[in-house]
Amino acid sequence: MIIVFKPKTSEEDVKKIQAKVEEKGLETHLVVGHDVTICGVIGDTTKVDPRDIEVSPSVEKVMRVEQPYKLANRAFHPEDTIVDVDGVKVGGGHMALIAGPCSVESEEQVIAIAKEVKAAGANMLRGGAFKPRTSPYAFQGLGSTGLDYLVAAKKETGLPIVSELMSADDIDEFNEKVDLVQIGARNMQNFTLLKEVGARVKKPILLKRGLSATYQEWIMSAEYIMASGNENVILCERGVRTFETYTRNTLDLQAIPVLRKMTHLPVIIDPSHAGGKWWLVEPMAKASVAAGCDGLLIEVHNDPEHALCDGAQSLKPKKYTKLIEELREIGKVVGKEI
Amino acid sequence: MIIVFKPKTSEEDVKKIQAKVEEKGLETHLVVGHDVTICGVIGDTTKVDPRDIEVSPSVEKVMRVEQPYKLANRAFHPEDTIVDVDGVKVGGGHMALIAGPCSVESEEQVIAIAKEVKAAGANMLRGGAFKPRTSPYAFQGLGSTGLDYLVAAKKETGLPIVSELMSADDIDEFNEKVDLVQIGARNMQNFTLLKEVGARVKKPILLKRGLSATYQEWIMSAEYIMASGNENVILCERGVRTFETYTRNTLDLQAIPVLRKMTHLPVIIDPSHAGGKWWLVEPMAKASVAAGCDGLLIEVHNDPEHALCDGAQSLKPKKYTKLIEELREIGKVVGKEI
Amino acid sequence: MIIVFKPKTSEEDVKKIQAKVEEKGLETHLVVGHDVTICGVIGDTTKVDPRDIEVSPSVEKVMRVEQPYKLANRAFHPEDTIVDVDGVKVGGGHMALIAGPCSVESEEQVIAIAKEVKAAGANMLRGGAFKPRTSPYAFQGLGSTGLDYLVAAKKETGLPIVSELMSADDIDEFNEKVDLVQIGARNMQNFTLLKEVGARVKKPILLKRGLSATYQEWIMSAEYIMASGNENVILCERGVRTFETYTRNTLDLQAIPVLRKMTHLPVIIDPSHAGGKWWLVEPMAKASVAAGCDGLLIEVHNDPEHALCDGAQSLKPKKYTKLIEELREIGKVVGKEI
Amino acid sequence: MIIVFKPKTSEEDVKKIQAKVEEKGLETHLVVGHDVTICGVIGDTTKVDPRDIEVSPSVEKVMRVEQPYKLANRAFHPEDTIVDVDGVKVGGGHMALIAGPCSVESEEQVIAIAKEVKAAGANMLRGGAFKPRTSPYAFQGLGSTGLDYLVAAKKETGLPIVSELMSADDIDEFNEKVDLVQIGARNMQNFTLLKEVGARVKKPILLKRGLSATYQEWIMSAEYIMASGNENVILCERGVRTFETYTRNTLDLQAIPVLRKMTHLPVIIDPSHAGGKWWLVEPMAKASVAAGCDGLLIEVHNDPEHALCDGAQSLKPKKYTKLIEELREIGKVVGKEI
């Protein structure tokens, strides 16, 4: 961390700030120039908020050099984290191929889709039981019953289950029924939920990126979960909000190589939510694999036109099967087995 | 709602879509042109998601004409809503003057500040007890103890208390101790919390705008609370995220006249969080009053340089006192009593 | 400027970077910590691009402390700049009250409007002759003829003329006919035009903020004009692009106090373009004056429903007259004579 | 185009609006519902600005159904456009492999790089002679001399030349020396330049996307060029501005499949500018090919650490050579010959 003083700050005022910082167990080093005095701060600065120092009238600017996260930091954990989802490995070269309907609608539906995506090559089944909807009048999901249908589908196919958790009240049920617990984009900074999930969820977590979140904010949310006790976090890019309205969101594939540098956690891509249109899924899934992702979360529905939710962005099983075949070829080129 | 069909769609396909829509109790009216067929849909369309119709291969585009919210809609409730916060009226010409520290730090601190802001003219006391922080290593607030200090300050001053609720688990305590329950920007789309708050909180709600939320998304979140049973909602603009990094966020004062058209709920402004710098509070508070807001939420701290949180954006009590005096003059010009 | 080296960078590599920087006539000061080495750079760093140093494999990050502009910088020019527009002063307490139609349509129209806005209190007349339109099929303005109509209106009313320059080819004509030369938002980073304008335009410049420009980028564009020879620049905030689509753009009034700190140039507000709706002009104009702006640019049209361009955001003369009266009252409160 | 009237609009007012629209040679069709009256407008609506109708007090909303562009529209030109750049075909399965330095620095430099990129497989040479820089104090390019060096490099290698045009004054020189004339992101809405380029440039145009431009705005800029006489336009995605500051911009690869639907023009990708870091080029180039782009514009420099501009995002020739080999393999999977 670097503190830049205002021109002509008195020696005394500089010392006051140094003392304030050193109280927190940090070291300070001064550089005194003709016009500007600068103070380098060395030590664990994660607990210092630059704005709390900037409030002093003698301080011009405080700049953070170090990342404000530790557990998720690649610098302190150079090896790729490999997350185990009920036997399916994700990260470090292992690909998560997660597929299924946006919403669970019936036992028959979800079992039928599960069988088809498994045959296509998927290794996990997703399905929404508790649904975050922007309108209180929209279908809110089947809830517990939906989870039971997913469990039934797992019995038939063996595919581990991925589903979104919206309330800490449901943690016990998710611990029992779900294999990979998703935290949705709109809850990425629901810090209460993140802490509870870190402390009480016994399964790995799939943390979606917030709609307007920066990489650092996203990793800080992973850090919340990890600092609370659960280090098995998978990050999922699902598009960010931009001025473009033709697509639902703009998929940010630079996230893949950048997060690889910043963190050791696996990074997967959800091309279905990003674009919001089924015909964008295929080219974006291919691009994601080419860019080196650790997995794909894709909506598949056997009857998209009558889906209760997000049919517009769902692939039919046949298209998914063909897609996986093509991804396999791209995977070969970039050294990923699909 | 208007459905535009793709060129050359068969009559049969058009009828299928009409049937699908009419099933939901809506009326349809066709316009058949040379190149384009258009279908007007009339009735309560709040339960229809345009994307669920757009998924059909014969549909080009579905456009909503009506607003997707009812309870918060000015069209169905032309009178301004006046919210009563333990005797203090907000809306319809009545101004909320809410002030206090970002975080409650001690009983002495909060009582001292409460007395000063009351003397200055404030009619409610704010103070954070449960704090949403982007870092798990930052000060997270005093929790219940913090609320007790606020209650003590209310005993001394009579000022109703405003504080942020982060978890549905704390609702009973907030019902007992807090007079206006704040939902923070990062929880604006925490739909589980919104429903619980609507159903169980017996006090009015202060709903902050999400960092990248549109007006409609924000009102839909108010609609969640109202549809769940609590119609006493005050909206609070606190800046939106833009590319500008000099300020914390960009304060959107157009929100005041626009929301006045869209909804009957009161709209107040938080200039402290928006700019993130104390010297922006004064000009922005004046601008807010000139633009016709129903109140102001301002951070006041007796020792900003040693505040545990957000000192940089807090006014000292003297500056707040002077500000209120100036606002009073502007209020006179625009017909608001301060 | 501060250079942060990667952990374990060799002394030799550090010296190489120091030498590279010192070559440009700058001084360097090292801080060597346990883990991190930091180098403070002192001197005129405006010619150094941080990214050119960051490219070195031994460098972690380069951070600028100083502003990259000089001529527009308040730090080197503490007094407010007062720009003289054919006798009308702008800045340092003097308000520009610019009004007129989006597009000049006929001599009668522009003379009629000019008389009305003058009577209301306006001190400059605006009118578009060369129009930037997003569609090649939209009305592109009357060009030179439009300027002649404005000149005729000036003859009748004495109001100095404000109009947008889109091409360096028209500079001679603008020097002859126009008193305040506007550079539009979409040309804010048309660097060729900025240089030509700085070198050859003999009248003051009104520089609009780009749709997604930061304060610093905007000031850098002013710096381009000033460094090329014309220091009479007025900045005009006209809204920035956000995710909100209800309004045309989001008006950023924090720009007023922030630019006051960053630069000595006058700052005026265009509430008509920002909101894109006439009924937003009144509250936003009041807010702008309350926040301390140096002037207002407002679209006034005698027949908005039949305007060839942007009628939706134009005030009728009567409404403008009433608005000026109300602004005068707010001006009194904040110490500005209107 | 669809016009929605306000509830209870009189028949007379509706007829007035119909008349206004029909004057422009368009047909209108009314739908009269209980609460809402809607008017469908059929015909060539490119010359109608929805806001000009919305200004009427009886109109609630005007929505465009048709695209506002014709020449660039895939609907009226279903075949892919293939642009011929001095013998090198781009589009319709033909890939542009454009490489070279950000800035031309010397004849030796550009010839050396040209030879290396040609050997690697590049089929065009890029080099900046006129440089758009945000600071007036930054290196602005070698200008005409730079173009001459590029011509020399073409003599040696046969590679067609790509360079950015910043001023209409330079069109004659560009017609003589340059094979593909680039319009930069910051000039995407410099409508004066677009018209001049359309009317007078005899070579194909490479139109970069503006930093915050939507797809439609971008295509409208292409339409400007086409409507002025030059239909050989190639679109180049180079990243859009988002809140992420770790990367220079966010590369939007959904642009590839979406533009494929909207327009028949070729779409190429510039991964160097998007990310601003050389190590992002490789994964993003692969992703671009996998997503189906028509070409890549990549910065290659023989000594990035001493480049006069944008060294941080330039590949060394060896890395470029290796990248092309890998892209060739991905090309095989998606049916593109590289």
Round to whole Å and give the CA distance between D161 and D112. 15
Helix (H) / strand (E) containing D19: helix D11-22
Q: Give the bridge partners for D235, in sequence order.
A: D207, D267
Minimum Cα–Cα distance from D64: chain B residue:
B63
Q: Give the bridge partners for C88, in sequence order.
A: C85
Phi/psi for C109 (5° steps) reads -55, -50
Round to whole Å and give the CA distance between B201 and B236. 18
User: Quick one: B111 and B239 in the same domain?
Assistant: yes
- D51 chain-C contacts, CB cut-off 8 A: 276, 310-312
pLDDT tens column, D258-293? 999 999 999 999 999 999 999 999 999 999 999 999
Integer-rounded Cα Rg, in Å, for chain D is: 23
ipTM above 0.90, yes or no: yes
Q: Do B253 and C326 touch (CB under 8 A)?
A: no
- C304 chain-D contacts, CB cut-off 8 A: 55
User: Quick one: D113 and D53 in the same domain?
Assistant: no
Least CB–CB distance from B212: residue in A133, A168, A212:
A212
Least CB–CB distance from B254: residue in C254, C280, C329:
C280
Band of the pLDDT at D49, cuts 50, 70, 90? Answer: confident
Position A33 scores a pLDDT of 67
- B71 within a domain of the structure (yes/no): no
User: Quick one: D52 and D89 in the same domain?
Assistant: no
Minimum Cα–Cα distance from B41: chain D residue:
D33
Position C50 scores a pLDDT of 85
Minimum Cα–Cα distance from C58: chain D residue:
D305
Position B108 scores a pLDDT of 96
pLDDT tens column, D298-332? 999 998 888 877 888 999 999 999 999 999 999 99
Q: Do B38 and D40 touch (CB under 8 A)?
A: yes
Query: At residue A330, what is the residue type?
Result: I
- C70 within a domain of the structure (yes/no): no
Position D306 scores a pLDDT of 82
Strands D2-5 and D59-63: antiparallel
Give the CATH number for residue A230. Answer: 3.20.20.70
DSSP string, A102-169: SB---HHHHHHHHHHHHHHT--EEE-BSS---SSTTS----THHHHHHHHHHHHHH---EEEE---GG
Return per-residue pLDDT of chain C as tens, 338 residues.
Answer: 889 888 888 999 999 999 989 988 888 888 776 667 888 888 888 878 888 888 888 898 888 888 899 999 999 999 999 999 999 999 999 999 999 999 999 999 999 999 999 999 999 999 999 999 999 998 899 999 999 999 999 999 999 999 999 999 999 999 999 999 999 999 999 999 999 999 999 999 999 999 999 999 999 999 999 999 999 999 999 999 999 999 999 999 999 999 999 999 999 999 999 999 999 999 999 999 999 999 999 999 998 888 878 888 999 999 999 999 999 999 999 999 99
Q: Do C136 and D52 touch (CB under 8 A)?
A: no
Least CB–CB distance from B254: residue in C213, C251, C289:
C251
Phi/psi for A275 (5° steps) reads -85, -35
Position A61 scores a pLDDT of 86
Measured CA distances, A263 to A219, A267, B133 (Å): 8, 9, 21
User: Quick one: A171 and A219 in the same domain?
Assistant: yes
Which of the pair, A309 or A277, is modelled with greater confidence? Answer: A277
Burial class (CB in 10 A: 0-12, 13-18, 19+), C287: buried
CB pairs under 8 A between B and C: 117
Provide mean pLDDT across the span D241-248: 96
- D159 within a domain of the structure (yes/no): yes
Q: Do D253 and A256 touch (CB under 8 A)?
A: no
C-beta separation of A125 from A300 below 8 A: no
Least confident of A63-67, B207-211, D168-172: A63-67
Round to whole Å and give the CA distance between D247 and D273. 10
- A70 within a domain of the structure (yes/no): no
Minimum Cα–Cα distance from A277: chain D residue:
D258
Q: Do D245 and B245 touch (CB under 8 A)?
A: yes
Q: Do D138 and C305 touch (CB under 8 A)?
A: no
Q: Do C228 and D136 touch (CB under 8 A)?
A: yes
Which of the pair, A31 or C178, is modelled with greater confidence? Answer: C178
Band of the pLDDT at D34, cuts 50, 70, 90? Answer: low
pLDDT tens column, A119-128? 999 999 999 9
Interface of D with B (CB under 8 A): 2, 4, 27, 29, 31, 33-36, 38, 40, 42, 60-61, 63, 65, 241, 243, 245
Band of the pLDDT at D215, cuts 50, 70, 90? Answer: very high
Provide mean pLDDT across the span A237-251: 97
Position C166 scores a pLDDT of 97
CB pairs under 8 A between A and D: 117
Residue B93 has pLDDT above 70, yes or no: yes
Q: Do A40 and C38 touch (CB under 8 A)?
A: yes
Least confident of A67-81, A272-286, C57-71, D243-257: C57-71
Residue B34 has pLDDT above 70, yes or no: no
Interface of A with C (CB under 8 A): 2, 4, 27, 29, 31, 33-36, 38, 40, 42, 60-61, 63, 65-66, 241, 243, 245
Band of the pLDDT at B234, cuts 50, 70, 90? Answer: very high
- D71 within a domain of the structure (yes/no): no
Least CB–CB distance from B31: residue in D35, D40, D245:
D40
- Candidates D65, D73, D74, D249, partner chain B, best to mutate (most B CBs within 10 A): D65
C-beta separation of C80 from C233 below 8 A: no
Which of the pair, B306 or C329, is modelled with greater confidence? Answer: C329
- Candidates B74, B247, B254, B296, partner chain C, best to mutate (most C CBs within 10 A): B254
User: Quick one: A290 and A196 in the same domain?
Assistant: yes
Round to whole Å and give the CA distance between A217 and A231. 17
User: Quick one: A89 and A196 in the same domain?
Assistant: yes
The first and second tokens of residue B330, run together, are 């502007």
H-helix segments, chain A: 11-22, 50-54, 107-120, 144-157, 171-177, 191-200, 215-227, 255-262, 271-275, 278-290, 317-334
Give the CATH number for residue C32. Answer: 3.30.70.1140
Place of tokens 């030059």: D230
User: Quick one: C48 and C100 in the same domain?
Assistant: no
Residue D231 has pLDDT above 90, yes or no: yes
- B29 chain-D contacts, CB cut-off 8 A: 31, 33, 38
C-beta separation of B282 from B272 below 8 A: no
Residue A36 has pLDDT above 80, yes or no: no
Position A35 scores a pLDDT of 67
Band of the pLDDT at B121, cuts 50, 70, 90? Answer: very high
Determine if residue B295 is left, alpha or beta; phi over 0 gives left, psi from -120 to 50 gives alpha, anything else beta: left
DSSP string, C222-241: HHHHHHTT---EEEEE--B-
The share of chain D scoring above pLDDT 70, in percent, equals 99
C-beta separation of A253 from A291 below 8 A: yes
The range of the structural domain enclosing residue B47 comes to 2-63
- B70 within a domain of the structure (yes/no): no
Interface of D with A (CB under 8 A): 212-216, 240, 242-247, 250-254, 256-258, 262, 274-275, 279-280, 283-284, 286-292, 326, 329-330, 333-334
Least CB–CB distance from D279: residue in A257, A262, A334:
A257
- B245 chain-D contacts, CB cut-off 8 A: 245
E strand segments, chain D: 2-5, 27-32, 37-42, 59-63, 83-85, 88-90, 96-100, 124-126, 161-164, 180-183, 205-208, 233-237, 267-269, 295-299
Round to whole Å and give the CA distance between A242 and A274. 11
- D284 chain-A contacts, CB cut-off 8 A: 253-254, 257, 291
Q: Do A132 and B191 touch (CB under 8 A)?
A: yes
Q: Do D214 and A329 touch (CB under 8 A)?
A: no
Residue D39 has pLDDT above 90, yes or no: no
- D180 within a domain of the structure (yes/no): yes
E strand segments, C23-160: 27-32, 37-42, 59-63, 83-85, 88-90, 96-100, 124-126
Residue D35 has pLDDT above 70, yes or no: no
Q: What is the pTM of this model?
A: 0.95
Query: At residue C160, what is the residue type?
Result: P
Round to whole Å and give the CA distance between B264 and D270. 48
Return the SS3 of D303: coil
pLDDT tens column, B161-190? 999 999 999 999 999 999 999 999 999 999
Q: Give the bridge partners for A4, in sequence order.
A: A38, A61
User: Quick one: A34 and A155 in the same domain?
Assistant: no
Provide mean pLDDT across the span A162-178: 98
Least confident of B210-224, D31-45, D77-91: D31-45
Q: Give the bridge partners for B307, in sequence order.
A: none
> Comparing C-alpha atoms, which of A51, A34, A39 is closest to residue A13?
A39
C-beta separation of B143 from B160 below 8 A: no
> Comparing C-alpha atoms, which of B126, B112, B115 is closest to residue B158?
B115
Q: Do B333 and C333 touch (CB under 8 A)?
A: yes
The mean pLDDT value of chain A amounts to 94
Round to whole Å and give the CA distance between B278 and B296. 14
Query: At residue C187, what is the residue type?
Result: N
Contacts of D17 (CB under 8 A, 6+ apart): D3, D5, D39, D53, D56, D58, D59
Provide mean pLDDT across the span A262-278: 96
Q: Do C42 and A61 touch (CB under 8 A)?
A: no
Residue B201 has pLDDT above 70, yes or no: yes
Least CB–CB distance from A212: residue in B136, B169, B241:
B241
User: Quick one: D39 and D184 in the same domain?
Assistant: no
Closest Cα in chain A, distance from residue B71 (Å) = 11
- C54 chain-D contacts, CB cut-off 8 A: 312
Q: Do D250 and A240 touch (CB under 8 A)?
A: yes
Integer-rounded Cα Rg, in Å, for chain C is: 23
Q: Give the bridge partners for B100, in sequence order.
A: B299
Closest Cα in chain A, distance from residue C18 (Å) = 15
Q: Do B241 and D243 touch (CB under 8 A)?
A: yes
Position B310 scores a pLDDT of 80
- A230 within a domain of the structure (yes/no): yes
Position D2 scores a pLDDT of 87
Query: At residue C78, what is the residue type?
Result: P
Round to whole Å and give the CA distance between C265 and C267. 7
Least CB–CB distance from C330: residue in B274, B279, B333:
B333
The first and second tokens of residue A83, run together, are 């997350």
Position D27 scores a pLDDT of 87
Return the SS3 of C303: coil
User: Quick one: D155 and D24 in the same domain?
Assistant: no
Provide mean pLDDT across the span B232-260: 97
Residue A15 has pLDDT above 90, yes or no: yes
User: Quick one: B52 and B94 in the same domain?
Assistant: no
Position B57 scores a pLDDT of 84
E strand segments, D161-276: 161-164, 180-183, 205-208, 233-237, 267-269
The first and second tokens of residue A295, run together, are 């997995």
C-beta separation of C222 from C249 below 8 A: no
Which of the pair, C36 or D99, is modelled with greater confidence? Answer: D99
User: Quick one: A52 and A171 in the same domain?
Assistant: no
Q: How many domains does chain D have?
A: 2
